[in-house]
Each structure stands twice: as structure tokens, then as C-alpha cells.
Structure 1
Amino acid sequence: MEIIRYASLRAEPWRNGGGVTRELASHPTPAGGGTAPDGDWDWRVSIAEISRAGAFSTFHGMDRVLTVIDGELLLLTVDGADHPLERYRPFRFPGDAEATAALPTGDIRDLNVITRNGAFKGYTSIIELSKKRAHPVFEGQLGILLQGQATVSLGNAGAGDDSAAGAGAETDDGGANAAAAPGAPPETLDRYDAVVGSDHRTPEILGRGFLAVVSIDRVTS
């Protein structure tokens, strides 16, 4: 089981000074770990803090899913059309579109899923957690705690296989990740910590609050 601790992620300033981005995971990861330059990956999951109105970077040949996860409202203009985005409502748009953001209610934080067209497809779902029924995080998924309190533990499926991360969600090992051994007690999740999914001893999240489940599916011809 792999946990990406948000507090350990490095903030990368935007070129226009309008915010910062923290990368949770990307594929492929650069040799030696760390964060790859924009567009040098086939998919990326990140959290951005936006403190100033302005233009978004373009990602040619890619698809984006943006979800406001903190703050009330982001007014996103995509190719001249206005889209008021409320919290926890994912919005998909082309990565090469001309997009600008306005902040009518103040600073916001958003979850970004960017995938290369023809190679991967990304999806974001927001679910409410339960203290009675654990939510599994499968291979090719990330479970990100958005709000509330939660713990994660290993399930029993595939108990004989100690494989950690699913093939769809490789992450670097640069100090941001924590691994749990089989039979370990539940781990507490802090806000914006991410759990890397697996089909072997599938991680299961219990708690109260809201969880973003990001799925990265490989496109097959």
C-alpha cells in the first residue's frame, strides 16, 4: 500500500505567478524521480492553488478534468464560453483550449487530471465516505481525501501478493510516499493525502468526509 503525503510535495510556481501546483502522480516518471516538465508525461494528477485571475497553461493533444476542491466558485472561460464551476463538480475540457480563470469568491484550490489523447482517459468522482463501509481503491486509481477524517488499511483480496502500486499509478519514491506492510494497523490520512490503488490487498478507506477517486484508464484500440 502506498500513500502520497500532500505535506511532502513540492510547490511549483506557475509561470504567470497566478498560483502553484503540487504533483501527486504522473506517468512516466522522469529518470531519478522528481517532477517532470509540463507535457513530458502521458498523464498527471495534481492539486493547484489559484490566487490570481489569469490564463491557464495549454496542453496540446491532452484532455483535462478540473474539480474545485476548496473555495466556493471558479469562473472558467474556455474558448470564449463561461463555465461557473462549483466545489466538487468535475468539469472536462480540451487541454489545448484557451482557458482563463476568474475568482469571484476568492482564492480556490483545484484537482487536475490531465491525460494524453489516444493513450489514457482520466475520470474524477467525488464520493461521501462512510465509517461503516470501507471504500476500496483499485488498480489505476488514486483516492484523495478532500475533507474530513479517514484511515486506510489493506484489504484481504490477494493477501498472498504484497505488490503495492497498481500499474496505472506509478509514483516516484522521493520521500513523498509511505508504504504499509501486510498486517499493519490502519494509517491516518491527512487532508489531500492520496492512496495509490491496487487489486492486490486492495486499500480500503473508512471515515467521514469526502473522497476524490481519480481513475486513469489506458485507451485500447
Structure 2
Amino acid sequence: MRIIRPDAFATQQWKNGGGVTHEIARAEDESGLIWRLSMAEVASDGPFSAFPGLERILTVIDGAGLILETDGGPIAARPLDPVRFSGDLTIHGRLIGGKVRDLNLIYDPKRIDGAVRLVDGTHPLHDGPVAALYCLSGRFRLSGEEIGSGCVAILDPAATAPKADPGATGLYISLQEVSV
């Protein structure tokens, strides 16, 4: 297991000035991006970056949410309710009541099947060879290590799942290889 604390996230301002992205972790090879986990601070309405050929799962972790305006109709991104959409979509994000922070999983759907779900320690966590846990509140523990609020643990597939302290919540990110 590797714990990534917020001060280790790679931060980049958006070109349009509407927010900030904090890259948490990524995997890539000679063919390109396999997956990327990041957090965004969205400060104003505006266009979303396109990720052609990739899939996205966005989960609002702070704030009232976003409406993602697309040619196919709006997608409501509500707090702690992961929404999946194509990185090919042209999206204009509209804030529902002020700034938001969201967790983003971007991945190559030809190689990976990604999922994000809310956990509180009452459900088993491991269901893929690569997994991560973003602690929203409280603490999770594994092998004497503490995963505190705002931290991300990249989990070893062979390890037992982290245990949640009472009241702890998190987002579990699973990445399974697509069978050919």
C-alpha cells in the first residue's frame, strides 16, 4: 500500500482560470494513458477538457454539485453520486450553488473497467487488481497505517481491505483489466 497525502498531489491551474486540478496518481505505457486519478477544484462555470477515447467517472466530494451540459442533454453530478460519461463529450459545466471539488477517474475503456463507489467500512473493498481508497472523512486503517481525511491509499491487491473507524467514509476506486 502507498499512501498519497494532499501535499504530494501534482497541482496545475486550468488555462481558462476556472479551477485547479490536483493529479493524485496515474498509470501509462507506450500506448498512452491507462488510468488517472485526480481531484478538481471548480470555481466557475466553463468548458471541460476533452479526453478522446477515454471514459470518465466524476464524483462531487464537496459542494452542491454540477450540471454537465452535453449535446445529448444534461448530466447531473450530485454530491457523492459517481457519474460516468465519455471523455469524447463536449461538456460545459455549470455550478449548482457555488464552488465544488470533485474526484475524477479517467481511464482507457478498451483496457480497464473502472468503478467508483461510496464506502463506509461495512462493505468489502477489494474487487480489482488495482484499487485506491480516497478518505472523505474519519480514518481507515491497514497494516498499522492510517489513511486520514483527504488522503488516498493505492492498495496492494494481495492485502486485506482497510478497516474504517466508526463514522469514516471514503470513495473506493476499482480498476479491472478488460478481458479480451
- Following TM superposition, the consecutive aligned residue runs of length 4 or more in structure 1 with deviations greater than 3 angstroms are 135-139
Contact 2:129 2:176 in 1 (8 A): no
Q: Is the radius of gyration larger for structure 1 or structure 2? A: 1
- CA shift for structure 1 position 136: 4.5
Q: Which residue of 1 aligns with 2:108?
A: 116
- CA shift for structure 1 position 80: 4.7
CA distance in 1: counterparts of 2:21 and 2:142, whole angstroms: 28
Contact 1:76 1:82 in 2 (8 A): yes
Which secondary structure state, in structure 2, belongs to the residue aligned with residue 11 of structure 1?
A: strand
TM-score in terms of structure 1 length: 0.73
Contact 1:195 1:203 in 2 (8 A): no
1:212 to 160, 171, 179: 171
Which secondary structure state, in structure 1, belongs to the residue aligned with residue 162 of structure 2?
A: strand
Which secondary structure state, in structure 1, belongs to the residue aligned with residue 37 of structure 2?
A: strand
- CA shift for structure 1 position 40: 4.6
Q: Which residue of 2 aligns with 1:12?
A: 12
- CA shift for structure 1 position 121: 1.9
CA distance in 2: counterparts of 1:75 and 1:109, whole angstroms: 14
Give the percent of matched residue pairs that are identical in Structure 1 and Structure 2.
29
- In structure 2, the CA distance between the partners of 1:196 and 1:110, relative to structure 1 (3 Å rule), is same
1:184-216 deviation per Cα after TM superposition (whole angstroms, max 9, x unaligned): xx3333322111112333352321221100011
Q: Which residue of 1 aligns with 2:43?
A: 51
Question: Which one has a larger percent strand, Structure 1 or Structure 2?
Answer: 2
- In structure 2, the CA distance between the partners of 1:201 and 1:104, relative to structure 1 (3 Å rule), is closer
Contact 1:128 1:209 in 2 (8 A): yes
Mapped pair 1:26 → 2:18: no
Which structure 2 residues correspond to residues 62-211 of structure 1 after superposition, within 5 A?
A: 62-129=54-121, 136-137=125-126, 139-147=129-137, 149-154=138-143, 186-207=144-165, 208-211=167-170
Contact 1:129 1:206 in 2 (8 A): yes
- In structure 2, the CA distance between the partners of 1:192 and 1:40, relative to structure 1 (3 Å rule), is farther
Q: Gaps (5+ residues) in structure 1?
A: 31-38, 155-185
Contact 1:20 1:48 in 2 (8 A): yes
- In structure 2, the CA distance between the partners of 1:29 and 1:152, relative to structure 1 (3 Å rule), is farther
Residue type of the partner of 1:65? Answer: I
CA distance in 1: counterparts of 2:150 and 2:32, whole angstroms: 24
Contact 2:19 2:41 in 1 (8 A): yes
**Equivalences, count:** 178
Higher relative contact order (Cα pairs below 8 Å, separated by 6+ residues): 1
